[in-house]
A and B are shown apart, each in its own frame.
Chain A
Amino acid sequence: MVAGAQTHRLANGGVIDRSTSLSFRFDGKTLLGFQGDTLASALVANGVKLVGRSFKYHRPRGILTAGSEEPNALVELRTGARREANTKATTAELYEGLEAASQNRWPSLNFDVMSVNQLFAPIFVAGFYYKTFMWPAKFWETIYEPAIRRAAGLGRAAGVSDPDHYDKAWAHCDVVIAGSGPTGLAAALAAGRSGARVILCEEDFVLGGRLLADGGTIDGLPAAEWVARTVAELEAMPDVRIMTRTTLFGVYDGGTYGAIERVNDHLPVPPEHQVRQRLWRIVAKRCVVAAGSIERPIVFAGNDTPGVMMASAMRSYINRYAAAPARRIALFTNNEDGWRTAETAIAAGLQVAAVIDARPDVSPAHRSLASKAGFPVLHGSVSGVDGGKNGVRKISVALTGGARAEAEADGLAVSGGWNPAVGLTSYHRGRPKWRDDIAAFVPDGAPPGMIAAGAANGAFGLGACLREGFEAGAVAARDAGRSGNIGSMPVADDEAFSLTPLWHVAGKGKAFVDQQHDVTASDVELAQREGFESVEHLKRYTTLGMATDQGKTSNVAGLAIMAAVTGKSIPETGTTIYRPPYVPVAIGAFAGHHRDENFHATRLTPSHQWAAEQGAVFVDTGLWKRAQWYPRAGEKDWLESVTREVKAVRSGVGFCDVSTLGKIDVHGPDAGAFLDRVYINAFSSLAVGKARYGLMLREDGIVYDDGTTSRLAEDHYFLTTTTAKAGLVMQHLEFCRQVLFPELDVQLTSVSDQWAQFSIAGPKTRDLLKEIVDPAEDLSNEGFPFMGAREVKLRGGLKARLFRISFSGEMAFEISVPARYGEAMARNLMIAGKPFGVTPYGTEALGVMRIEKGHVAGPELNGTTTAGDLGLGKMMSTKKDFIGRVMAGREALVAPDRQVVVGIKPTDKARRLRSGAHIIPKGETPGPGNDQGYVTSVCFSPVLDQWIGLGLVERGRERIGEIVRAHDPLRGEDYDVELCNSVFYDPDGGRQRG
């Protein structure tokens, strides 16, 4: 297929590279553009007027603007996994091979079935959903919502994972500047010359802002030359960073700004190793907002017809892109500035059909322009537009005084004045103030450290922009402590500005306020009639300003119309709250590197590599990867592997990497006194060389954490925490040390990563240890009794710490070696244990053995249980103060009917017990009134050859032997269980002491 000729490309001019022709496809049709085009400007150059269908009514829509405020020209950009919906054609840079498709039409843009919605338009008014789909309620999910979703909406998501990478970065500077128009460049000059570290953010891919479209003379130079000279000066400054394709989108506390850099959106695919977009968090002492202003439409019937375009956007297309949006242009303006579009059109050799000026007077210069160029100046307003999907054909004009006129044109430029971009200055709940002279909201103060300047501050003249920008840059740099010579200020003349406010022209036909959300002037009026007068209600009832453009071209017009129907002024009507982001930011950019396997940081145990070689199945435990079990060939499922591991430990010997436990060195002369205050039981009395199980409460009396703590020296304890609470316990202990008990001489260090720790358990543990520990070490029951803890020498001289503690209920030790020896330790345990059939076991077997032994863990230490509930109430010392002591004694926390830990086993030995099942008395109907607790932990016990569990059951310990119901509505199960002693295995503890 032959590429379309660029029928609307002007012969000369433009900031485009005519030597680099780019081929692209829009709705399957191949077209050509140039390097430097946006998708929108390339479409304009190809004479494409119809770009999409509207959200609700499927009305044909064209291109309204030339920037990030665009409500209409939204496309699906790219294809496949990279397809991105609702991309603004006005900011999408053209590249070779670009593919874009129009949205919200079927089967094609030209013939769209759903445009029948326009016929039903009277019912699609504000509040339509709220009023229409009230009942029957069940119809909502099955009929109404799917139908509405099919009809309404914009582009389609890709539906598959984004193949590109995104990242996040921090930047620091004295002054960050938003916008590189005359204001921003002047600010950067002043700040840069004063020696400040400057970041200049420009969302466009070219610097210059409105100068690119409107030109002008600065310091006697044509604007383009001044921009080039200024940029060269800035680039020579080592601490000035110019970031194009970067939108400053948010302002956060403490001088932190969010910016999105579209690093490679201008390429079909990011180069290898590069990201598509980067999210910046910029920390700046000062910020200059030079974000300019946005030209606003006038609302009239047919104002959404393709070919109706903002007057300034037309100048952008003609001057910057050398693309003619129309050949015969009508202009509707209420201000002096709009006339520049007529001047631009004539200079470009285009026809001006008429200028419709709503003001009573037109300057003599413009009158003579009109007579010289031969077009009429009509005093009045546009009352209607003839045309459709192929664009504007004829403009109807209501003349001041009541007569009517018409003008034939294929394009209509509209200027309703300018709205300063007050988003950034209002993001800390600031409310802009109204200025009558320019009939616009301007910033009224700003977040700390921020200065608005130029058009963003309501100063529209070029001279004023340079002045305000330069001053703001100088002040910002000075406030940041930079005082270099700022040199001379760039100078330009100020253009005349006169405006007669006009927001809405009454007339027949739909007049759109918010084109992206299809909100009309009559919707605003209806909202008022129905009582939604507050701007916040107006916004939500009509959805005005809630689309992806955030109402940049529509909000103020909406307020003005509401003001008119309520008889209030615009400032009385007020604005809604402004919130970031200023432009849509992809969630992928916020996620950055943190997706898939990098979603969070991962911690690996010292023996991870060895466990992986053994074929371990790993489980995520918080940030950790832990070996869950070690399957062997021929084992049919996890249960078979876990059962084998448990039996091997209980009959021989096994080992498990328990390095994930939190480990804390507690040092200092007051270490014992300190531990006495954080544990319910005493530690100052613990002998050197001994370990003790300790329980910590929260100050409200609820159990916080548990673990064993050993005394390694008079002034040195080694404390362990649960895996889950390791970080939190460290934080808690630091709070106790620094805030609660500053008088104690105690020092804390995390040694979690210093030690690789292994539990070695089973009747043959000593046999194994004798192989690996230096023969001089006495491991006998007398030489190393239960709960002993001391340093030992290993064969070969390495020192290790040995603790005689048991979680499994077997004869067991835990052994610690410096972490880099962790892997060697695992290998050597395998070698040393080979004669005894040593078996590595994972967290599942660990869990089975602790349940068999009745030890509590995370499911029982659940943030609601007391020491008493866990059967550990007797540990609470009465001889000392400790955290949680007083609150633990409250009536409800010691009430006899509390749910306490008890053993549970199904009466049918073949039945599987499930955690989460509720405990209901026999013969009662399940319900909240009869709920006496629940099953917290379960396992298949190889020792008992049946499923067993622990549970929290009302008065459980008094009810041993009672048969109750385990009611499990989630899984549809209900069966009898027996309450029993929570220690299922070796209740006397003879095995672990032996």
Chain B
Amino acid sequence: MRIICPYCGERELGEFTYLGDAKPQRPAADAGEDAVYDYVYLRDNIAGVMSEHWYHGGGCRAWLKVTRNTLTHEISAVEPAAGVGAAKVGA
């Protein structure tokens, strides 16, 4: 599999580390145990298009959000995680 890193270009799978479903959002500090439980343990396992976190640890160290079809491995979009490129946003 090859992933097009938005910063480095197309690279082979070995440079990346998979984390998993990128959909769950870390709950706010006061969200309570149920919300955190959902965040930590409940994951979709879609046979089809999924949004996933990948880490380009063997390259630019950017965390990426990869839209991938788990059946075909086709990757339709790769975007940086929110904080990558924060140097360009207003403080």
A interface list, Cβ under 8 A from B: 252-256, 281, 283, 428, 448, 699-700, 727, 731, 734-735, 737-743, 745, 881, 886-887, 889-890
Contacts and interface: CB of A to CB of B under 8 A. Distances in A.
Contacts of B49: none
A256 B2 contact: yes
B60 to A, nearest CB: 11
A253 B83 CA distance: 29
A746 to B, nearest CB: 9
A735 B40 contact: no
A544 B87 CA distance: 61
B1 interface: yes
B78 interface: no
Contact of A254 (B1, B26, B40, B63): B1
Contacts of A881: 29
A254 B86 contact: no
Contacts of B36: 699, 886-887
A734 B2 contact: no
Interface of B: 1-2, 12-13, 17, 19, 26, 29, 31-33, 36-37, 39-41, 53, 55, 57, 61-63, 72-75, 80-84, 86, 91
Contact of B63 (A428, A727, A739): A739
Contact of A739 (B29, B31, B32, B83): B83
A889 B40 CA distance: 14
A256 B73 CA distance: 13
Nearest to A428: B72
The 10 closest A-B pairs by CB, nearest first: A742-B83, A254-B2, A881-B29, A738-B83, A886-B36, A253-B1, A742-B82, A253-B73, A738-B63, A739-B81
Contact of A890 (B1, B33, B91): B33
B81 A887 contact: no
B62 A738 contact: yes
B82 A738 contact: yes
A253 B33 contact: no
Nearest to B27: A886
A698 to B, nearest CB: 9
Contacts of B39: 699
Given A739-B82, A889-B33, 14 more contacts: A253-B13, A253-B73, A283-B12, A700-B40, A735-B19, A738-B81, A739-B53, A739-B63, A742-B83, A742-B86, A881-B29, A886-B31, A886-B36, A887-B36
Contacts of A252: 1
A738 B84 CA distance: 6
A731 B19 CA distance: 11
B55 A731 contact: yes
A890 B41 CA distance: 14
Contact of A735 (B1, B37, B55): B55
Contacts of A734: 55, 61, 63
A255 B4 CA distance: 13
A254 B81 CA distance: 23
Contacts of A740: 26
A734 B17 CA distance: 13
11 contacts: A253-B2, A254-B13, A283-B2, A731-B17, A731-B57, A735-B53, A738-B81, A739-B63, A740-B26, A881-B29, A887-B36
A386 to B, nearest CB: 54
B74 to A, nearest CB: 8
A255 B12 CA distance: 11
Contacts of B82: 738-739, 742
A756 B84 CA distance: 30
Contacts of B91: 745
A331 B36 CA distance: 76
A281 B12 CA distance: 10
A908 B89 CA distance: 67
Nearest to B32: A886
B78 to A, nearest CB: 12
Nearest to A700: B40
B2 A255 contact: yes
B73 A737 contact: no
Given A745-B91, A886-B36, A256 B63 contact: no
Contacts of A699: 26, 36, 39-40
Nearest to A880: B29
Nearest to B86: A742
B83 A741 contact: yes
Nearest to B1: A253
A824 B72 CA distance: 55
Contacts of B33: 886-887, 889-890
B67 to A, nearest CB: 15
Nearest to B41: A700
A205 B19 CA distance: 45
A738 B80 CA distance: 9
Nearest to B63: A738
A742 B81 contact: yes
Nearest to A890: B33
A699 B38 CA distance: 12
A172 to B, nearest CB: 10
Contacts of B32: 886
A737 to B, nearest CB: 6
Choose among A448, A739, A889 the residue with the greatest number of B CB atoms under 10 Å from its CB. A739
A887 B55 contact: no
B20 to A, nearest CB: 11
B2 A735 contact: no
Contacts of B57: 727, 731
Contacts of A700: 40-41
Contacts of B53: 735, 739
Contacts of B19: 735
A695 B27 CA distance: 22
B82 to A, nearest CB: 4
Contact of B37 (A256, A739, A887): A887
A890 B84 CA distance: 33
A743 B90 CA distance: 10
Contacts of A281: 12
Contacts of B1: 252-254, 256
B21 to A, nearest CB: 12
Contacts of A738: 62-63, 80-84
Nearest to A886: B36
Nearest to B82: A742
Contacts of B12: 256, 281, 283
A975 to B, nearest CB: 41
Contacts of B17: 731
Contacts of B41: 700
B59 to A, nearest CB: 12
A173 to B, nearest CB: 14
A745 B91 CA distance: 8
A745 B26 CA distance: 19
A735 B19 CA distance: 10
Contacts of A283: 2, 12
Nearest to B3: A254
Nearest to A170: B12
B10 to A, nearest CB: 8
Contacts of A735: 19, 53, 55, 63
Choose among B1, B36, B82, B84 the residue with the greatest number of A CB atoms under 10 Å from its CB. B36
Contact of B40 (A731, A739, A887): A887
Contacts of B61: 734
A889 B36 CA distance: 11
Nearest to B4: A254
Contacts of B80: 738
A365 B31 CA distance: 88
A428 B72 CA distance: 9
Contact of B73 (A254, A887, A889): A254
Contacts of B62: 738
Nearest to A883: B26
A441 to B, nearest CB: 22
Contacts of B2: 253-256, 283
A448 B74 CA distance: 9
B39 to A, nearest CB: 8
Contacts of A745: 86, 91
Contacts of B75: 254
